[in-house]
Structure 1
Amino acid sequence: MASYTPSTPLSARVAQLREALATRVVVADGAMGTMLQAQDPSLDDFQQLEGCNEVLNVTRPDIVRSVHEAYFAVGVDCVETNTFGANLAALGEYDIPERIVELSEAGARIAREVADEFAADDGRTRWVLGSVGPGTKLPTLGHAPYDRLRDAYQRNVEGLVAGGADAILVETTQDLLQTKASVVGARRAMEAAGVDLPLLVQVTVETTGTMLLGSEIGAALTALEPLGIDMIGLNCATGPAEMSEHLRYLARHARTRVSAMPNAGLPVLGKDGAHYPLTPGELADAHETFVREYGLSLVGGCCGTTPEHLRQVVERVRGMQPGERSPRPEPGASSLYQTVPFRQDTSYLAIGERTNANGSKKFREAMLEGRWDDCVEMARDQIREGAHLLDLCVDYVGRDGVADMSEIAGRFATASTLPIVLDSTEPAVIRAGLEKLGGRAVINSVNYEDGDGPDSRFAKIT
């Protein structure tokens, strides 16, 4: 791959992006896939891997470049790289997972070159958001192990950083455990490269009002914000109308900045297939409202949005500052499904202890005999009786605590609507639990011995 040296150093671009997000509304681009397909790439362009858009980064960079140029030409501040599927699951379906870094770097490099060309013309910095898509494997459902996905996301981001991305956008996430794997993988990649790029996360909330696996927006915020992300928001699945209440929640409770990249409405089936009905003017109206009422710092579009949609958004929000926000964070823990505040106005915080192998003979015997359904039923009993959190301890002499924790926490992740308290003195056992739970867990009963401490035993537990 030919080398390319950006005209402005990365550190300067990142500082400018952080300043822009803090002081004004930044506008990103719209749909990528439909614009690529509109240019009718051949099967040879896809290297016989039909539909693998990321391959176009190396076979037809001119097509990818033209999409970035179309969006920059209408005034957007930043574009996303053509790397949405440059992950283990998506490339694995084409039997090319070894090309994650190659295709990620190529996609970022194309966007970087176009951004720098536009910046050179008028002196206004343009930015590149490295797109990290979710793939099709949901670790909460056991489709792939957490650590394998995390390491593959790390390779994805390593390529994006090498290609010149200014920020990392983890987008269209459907499973909170998958989202956490993306964020941790991205952090590891940036640490390895010695850079600190803004890390932006956008979850996808379906028309049902939750993420695909049933997570409410509060559970997403509680689980993801402590990971040190710079922004949280929504993209895909719905139009702006369906996003409004979820954005309102984020505006009221998120410490981070907030973003939105909706579809051009909900798809409508017609004789020529599906189309998205939201007009450019309607998308611009929605974003103006979002900026004023919810203090959004980053706006853009997803499926069905075009350069014309974004041109009108740019014209509408140019010069606007995000509306005032006075967030009221609610410290708490979360399950995959819901958040539970630590402060209970009408009760004490009740932690169910009957799923503790040291405190419950019934639970211990079920665990020792491998009666996992009985273990789950004991958890459900405590939910019905009004517990707010569930204490999970599998420590027992002579047992493989990592295996037991992995087995039971994996079941509790989807069977329990309550957050889990991971109760163990063994870091490996705690890690096994965290790698199965998409929500935000509480860690209990940590002992330090002979020089051990939080830095030495638990700092890199994820």
Structure 2
Amino acid sequence: MASLPNPPADTQTRADALREALATRVVVADGAMGTMLQAQDPTLEDFQQLEGCNEVLNVTRPDIVRSVHEAYFAVGVDCVETNTFGANYAALAEYDIPERNFELSESGARIARQVADEFTASTGQQRWVLGSMGPGTKLPTLGHITYAQIRDAYQVNAEGLISGGADALLVETTQDLLQTKSSIIGARRAMDALGVSVPLICSVTVETTGTMLLGSEIGAALTALEPLGIDMIGLNCATGPAEMSEHLRYLARNARIPLSCMPNAGLPVLTKQGAHYPLSAVELADAQETFVREYGLSLVGGCCGTTPEHLRQVVERVRGTAITPRDPQPEPGAASLYQTVPFRQDTSYMAIGERTNANGSKKFREAMLEARWDDCVEMARDQIREGAHMLDLCVDYVGRDGVADMRELAGRFATASTLPIVLDSTEVPVIQAGLEKLGGRA
């Protein structure tokens, strides 16, 4: 692999200053990017015949991308997100250009960096760049792609962002906890490779159903993601602020780390002209001011449908406000893809279902040896129905490929079980294979 460009010399200084700001006062980020790019009517040539691939504009029309950053900085926001939401393996592969991952990530960060530095110099107010790492189009929990493949690609994405001048990495709009983990680990590997430490922010997307796309509640997300060493967790996209309130309340009570919120401008209303977002600038500012006061947010901004005017009003209300102190009361626990299970023994003991253990259950072992995977899953479900709190999964058996068996069964248990999985093996590679299939916290 070719040697990587070094990050800008003052990257660490800016990153440390951003960490200090996020720890002491409310920081305001920008709003929607895609709609503002499309409003400037880029041509098919601008997209290099890859219609809708906004990241290509970083190379072909940096002036358009630059103008969006300028519009947000002009209304006083502290930081902007790079135009790199789709600069990841899965999204770029849809256009047959996955090899441009680093190039488009680096160029997007470089444009934002230049604009941020100009506004810092002209106003005396430090401006920062958040490197946007989007979810892509493939869900590893559902087997669309492997954990390792997207982890490594997210590392390339993050290396490009940092090399281009990003001050923080924003893993955003996440829908699958296993994809989220891959992004976070890829980002951490990028920092190690480049010798810098920038804030790592994670923003999950909770649908109107009250869960993430694959059914994960906010508690499962916090339990699975906070131990990975992220600097901040929050919500963005899918809904307006009203639908986010209860999830933010949960985070405020349970998260040990700072919080963020970047809602859409309400729920979209479909019209003949397309989707319309009804929330006014004043209403968004009202909501964010309330969230800052009640939930102790450190970072606020906007997502789909929000404009510079929305963010101007938010800036006037909350930027620079001291962070409201929180007194979280977190409860240690494990999580499946769907729910968190506290390490709390309301009964006389915590029941770990052992019937999905190849050494302890002849029935399970025979089903595994004969590749009757559905029967293995049914044995897991039987234990759920009978009141187990967690499920033991052990595939160790002489003469078997434990890594292959663990991949097969952990991948199935990830979506079939609402309970956390207890991975059980004497072999580290087998444990690793299981962890790479589980979006929850084993």
User: Normalising TM by the smaller chain, what interval?
Assistant: over 0.9
Report sequence identity in percent. Answer: 84
User: 2:190 & 2:133 partners in 1: Cα distance?
Assistant: 13
Amino acid at match of 2:166: A
The structural deviation recorded for 1:124 is 1.3
- What per-residue deviation string (whole Å, max 9, x for no partner) do you get for residues 106-163 of structure 1? 0000000000000001221100000000001000000001100101101000100100
Q: Tell me what 1:171 maps to.
A: 172
Secondary structure in structure 2 of the residue aligned to 1:391 = strand
Q: Give the structure 2 partner of residue 91 of structure 1.
A: 92
> Residues 237 and 262 of structure 2 are in contact (CA less than 8 Å); yes or no, is this contact kept in structure 1?
yes
Superposed CA RMSD in Å reads 1.2
- Residue in structure 2 matched with residue 265 of structure 1 by the alignment: 266
CA distance in 2, matches of 1:347, 1:17: 47
CA distance in 1, matches of 2:257, 2:331: 13
Give CA-to-partner distance per residue, 1:200-248, whole Å, 9 cap, x none: 0000000000000000000000000000000000000000000000000
Single out whichever of 271-280 and 130-139 deviates more from structure 2: 271-280
**Structure 2 residue aligned with 1:29:** 30
**SS of corresponding position for 1:302:** coil
The yes-or-no answer on 1:230 pairing with 2:214 is no
| Count of matched residue pairs | 438
Distance in 2 between residues matched to 1:303 and 1:30, nearest whole Å: 7
Counterpart position of 1:307: 308
Counterpart of 1:270, as a letter, is T
1:256 is aligned to 257
Structure 2 CA distance, aligned partners of 1:79 and 1:425?
Answer: 47
3-state DSSP class of the match of 1:403?
helix
Q: Hey, what does 1:444 align to over in structure 2?
A: none
The answer on whether the counterparts of 2:26 and 2:322 sit within 8 Å (CA) in structure 1 is yes
Distance in 2 separating the partners of 1:26 and 1:153: 26
The reply on whether 1:289 has 2:263 as its aligned counterpart is no
Cα 1:71–1:354 shift into 2, 3 Å: same
**C-alpha distance in 1 between matches for 2:235 and 2:325:** 19
Between the aligned partners of 1:272 and 1:142, the Cα distance in structure 2 is: 36
Q: Structure 1: how far apart are the matches of 2:190 and 2:329?
A: 32
Partner of 1:153: 154
Structure 1 residue 355, shift from structure 2 partner: 0.5
Gaps spanning 5+ residues in structure 2: where?
none
Kindly provide the amino acid, as one letter, of the partner of residue 332 in structure 2.
P
Change in Cα spacing, 1:310 to 1:375, as seen in structure 2 (3 Å) is: same
Match of 2:163 in 1: 162
- Quote the offset at 1:321 in angstroms: 1.5
Q: Distance in 2 between matches of 1:29 and 1:350?
A: 47
The yes-or-no answer on 1:371 pairing with 2:352 is no
Q: Deviations over 1:183-209 (max 9, x none)?
A: 000000110000111000000000000
Q: How far, CA to CA, are the matches of 1:363 and 1:4 in structure 2?
A: 52
* 2:357 is the counterpart of 1:356: yes
Amino acid at match of 1:295: G
1:364-385 Cα offsets, whole Å, 9 max, x none, are 1110111111100110010001
Runs of 4+ in 1 over 3 A off after TM superposition: 3-6
Aligned with 2:328: secondary structure?
Answer: coil
Counterpart residue identity of residue 299, structure 2: L
The SS at the match of 1:172 is strand
Partner of 1:400: 401
The AA in structure 1 aligned to 2:285 is A
CA separation in 1, counterparts of 2:388 and 2:7?
57
Q: Which amino acid aligns with 1:108?
A: A
Post-superposition shift, 1:173? 0.3
Distance in 2 between the 1:350 and 1:338 partners? 17
- What is the Cα deviation at residue 347 of structure 1? 4.1
Deviations 1:265-309 (A, max 9, x none): 000112322100000000000000000000000000000000000
Q: Counterpart in 1 of 2:430?
A: 429
User: Aligned partners of 2:402 and 2:319: how far apart in 1?
Assistant: 56
- Counterpart-to-counterpart distance in 2, 1:93 and 1:329: 40
Cα distance change on mapping 1:230 and 1:12 into 2, 3 Å: same
Unaligned runs of 5+ in 1: 442-462
CA-CA distance at 1:4 after TM superposition: 11
**Cross-structure match for 1:345:** 346
Alignment match, 2:203: 202
Match of 1:122 in 2: 123
Give the secondary structure class of the aligned counterpart of 1:128: strand
- CA distance, structure 2, for counterparts of residue 304 and residue 182 of structure 1: 25
How much has 1:356 moved relative to structure 2? 0.5
Match of 1:274, SS state, is: strand
1:5 positional shift = 9.2
1:162, 1:33 → 2: CA distance?
23
Question: Contact (CA 8 Å) 2:232, 2:258: kept in 1 or not?
Answer: yes
Letter aligned with residue 405 of structure 1: M
The whole-number CA distance in structure 2 between the counterparts of 1:346 and 1:247 is 30
Aligned-pair distance for 1:320? 1.4
The question of whether the paired residues in 1 share the 8 Å contact of 2:181 and 2:439 is answered with yes
User: In 1, distance between residues paired with 2:319 and 2:113?
Assistant: 23
For residue 105 of structure 1, what is the amino acid of its counterpart? E
SS in 2 for 1:17: helix
The answer on whether the counterparts of 2:79 and 2:129 sit within 8 Å (CA) in structure 1 is yes
TM-score by length of 1: 0.94
Contact 2:6 2:194 in 1 (8 A): no
Q: Distance in 2 between matches of 1:167 and 1:20?
A: 13
**1:316 corresponds to which letter in structure 2?**
R
TM-score (norm 2): 0.98
